[in-house]
Structure 1
Amino acid sequence: MTWVEAIVLGIVQGLTEFLPISSSAHLRITSAIFFGRDAGASFTAVTQLGTEAAVLIYFAKDIWRILRTWVLGLVDHSVRASLDYRMGWYVIVGSIPIGVFGFLFKDQIQTVARNLWLVSATLIGFAFVLAFAEYWGRQTRTLENFRMRDGVVMGFAQAMALIPGVSRSGGTLTAGLLLNLTRETAARYSFLLAIPAVVMSGVFSLGDVFKPAAPGTAAPSGAQMVVATLIAFVIGYAAIAWLLRYVAHHTLYLFVLYRVALGALVLSLLLTGTITAT
């Protein structure tokens, strides 16, 4: 991997991780169009540690309060009715699906799921699902109304993002809207839900990211990996604040249009032979 490639991909990861447009798809597409190869699923997983560090810092007070209350609630029944205690369980249970599916389909995620025909079709297909959720969802429920069912449904929606093009935030936002949660409520839970899955995925991928590259892939050096992750952290931190403000006052149709346009662009490049699918 070149330094330009590492820096560009770090920027792309930071810009797209929290938007419902699929950061993994963007890394895959950017690599194919500008560098003629694939940085690989492990590179994506490790750079996500940078954006997830941004979540940990941005929501540090909320995370500490939830964690402290959850631990206390294990021995003190009086706090078990609190939202923070319940939220701790919602995040734990909601994280199970992506852990199970990620383990069962690890090989497919790193290979066939990164085919650009599939990525482009998924970008377009799930754009319409997101549009339907935005149109249909009543957005009457806030975080105080959040229940275990919501956590489980959004957990399965997050697991769908193992396929590049779905988008982890896009999947969870879509599920949240279909459950009649407000956009801001769905976004906040989405940020919390991502922490266990992304951190574990990134840690387990550390060894793979430095393995000799297979044909059509690029392996970064340790220094390049660190720089790309730091860039993703800085840009990702700013993206969190922007997204929370945006969803509080705007619909998600802008992202729907963007997903369709990007998917159509990739399809046209594939059809003309400008880029290859694998």
Structure 2
Amino acid sequence: MADLLNVLILAIVQGIAEFLPISSSGHLVLLGSLLQTINESPALQELGESATLEIILHAGTLGSILVIYWRHILNLLSRDKAVIPLLIVGTIPAAVIGVGIKLAFESVLKSTPLAAAMLLVTGTMLIVLGRLKPRSGDYQQLSWKGALAVGTFQAFAILPGISRSGSTILGGRLMGLKNEDSVTFSFLLAIPAILGATVLTAKDLLDPESGSPPDNQAMLLIVGAVVSFVVGIVALKWLIGWSRLDRLHWFAWWCYPVGVAALGLWAAGVIA
């Protein structure tokens, strides 16, 4: 039951924070450290030490994007074909930087103090987002330079604590996109990014020596995927609605106290 509860918590956090601009990676790093302090769970540790749980939770949230944006995705195959090269260009920075950090500095991606500090940066980006004047651009008319710029914001989000959605929406707005279009382009760009991250962390699943997970772990993975998928749909609809109301900067007042509290807990030795 403890293992199931921990996976449920992580899946809910992933589903919420993957879409709301508060950083899923940062929250998973901080929450994972806190859960390990509270409850030493062998089954959960075995999953967490491999990439399996991370893959499954991301797959669940990817499903949420496909459900919400299926019409836009179909349009990419018909009237919006010109957007596909923009998505490719926008993915390049994250692919290059993401692969580099993953291969050379993987431990950085699990750093508790870094995740906490970057939450403060995310909060500041959201404050900047809230101060921008309204834009009117459509994502279909975004330039290649604009797509590359938004992609660079996405690459910055490889750091734990930097919100991928928050940074790319800010990047889109700075490039002249209106609120709804900056959100749409952000999550269309998330599809190759999440797929790429999944491929990068799939080595445990592809390793023939690792074998299949035991039945109890397989059930935990299924539960995690379903929960992150369902919660992700709710969170994504929430983000779209608040973006239309220009309220995304309100989430800064979540990021700031969480970041400060996490830094305090780390400095006090409560979390590693």
Q: Same fold (TM over 0.5)?
A: yes
Q: Distance in 2 between matches of 1:90 and 1:114?
A: 31
Read off the aligned partner of 1:11 and give its amino acid letter: I
Find the counterpart in structure 1 of residue 63 from structure 2. Answer: 53
CA-CA distance at 1:182 after TM superposition:
2.0
Return 18-27 or 146-155, whichever deviates more: 146-155
Find the counterpart in structure 1 of residue 160 from structure 2. Answer: 164
Per-residue displacement from partner, 1:24-61 (whole Å, max 9, x unpaired)? Answer: 11111111123328836833344111101111122112
- After TM superposition, list the pairs within 5 Å mapping 1:18-33 onto structure 2: 18-33=19-34
Q: Distance in 2 between matches of 1:132 and 1:250?
A: 12
- For this pair of structures, how many residues does the alignment match? 256
Unpaired stretches in structure 1, ≥5 consecutive residues: 70-81, 213-219
Per-residue displacement from partner, 1:194-216 (whole Å, max 9, x unpaired)? Answer: 1012023224423337989xxxx
Return 158-167 or 132-141, whichever deviates more: 132-141
CA-CA distance at 1:221 after TM superposition:
2.6
Aligned partner of 1:132 among 128, 138, 147:
128
CA-CA distance at 1:157 after TM superposition:
0.8
Q: Distance in 2 between matches of 1:113 and 1:57?
A: 29
Q: Distance in 1 between matches of 2:20 and 2:87?
A: 20
Aligned partner of 2:246 among 239, 243, 250:
250
Q: 1:182 to 1:7 in 2, by over 3 A?
A: same
Read off the aligned partner of 1:197 and give its amino acid letter: A
SS at the partner of 1:166?
coil
Q: Structure 1: which 4+ aligned runs deviate by more than 4 Å? A: 209-212
Pairwise CA RMSD: 2.5
Unpaired stretches in structure 2, ≥5 consecutive residues: 210-215
SS at the partner of 2:172?
helix
Matching of residue 182 in structure 1 with residue 181 in structure 2: no
- After TM superposition, list the pairs within 5 Å mapping 1:98-109 onto structure 2: 98-108=94-104
Return 144-153 or 26-35, whichever deviates more: 144-153
CA-CA distance at 1:112 after TM superposition:
2.0
Q: Distance in 1 between matches of 2:147 and 2:12?
A: 30
Read off the aligned partner of 2:11 and give its amino acid letter: G
How high is the TM-score relative to the length of structure 1?
A: 0.83
Matching of residue 198 in structure 1 with residue 208 in structure 2: no
Q: Distance in 2 between matches of 1:245 and 1:180?
A: 20
How high is the TM-score relative to the length of structure 2?
A: 0.85
Q: Distance in 2 between matches of 1:175 and 1:27?
A: 24
Q: Distance in 2 between matches of 1:128 and 1:95?
A: 24
Q: Distance in 1 between matches of 2:58 and 2:159?
A: 15
Q: Distance in 2 between matches of 1:187 and 1:41?
A: 32
8 Å CA contact 2:239, 2:248 repeated in 1: no
Find the counterpart in structure 1 of residue 10 from structure 2. Answer: 9
Aligned partner of 2:114 among 105, 113, 118:
118
Q: Distance in 2 between matches of 1:255 and 1:40?
A: 30
Matching of residue 259 in structure 1 with residue 258 in structure 2: no
8 Å CA contact 1:46, 1:206 repeated in 2: no
8 Å CA contact 2:165, 2:186 repeated in 1: yes
Read off the aligned partner of 2:193 and give its amino acid letter: A
Find the counterpart in structure 2 of residue 150 from structure 1. Answer: 146
8 Å CA contact 1:50, 1:229 repeated in 2: yes
Q: Distance in 1 between matches of 2:138 and 2:163?
A: 23
8 Å CA contact 2:129, 2:249 repeated in 1: no
Q: 1:107 to 1:143 in 2, by over 3 A?
A: closer
Q: 1:136 to 1:50 in 2, by over 3 A?
A: same
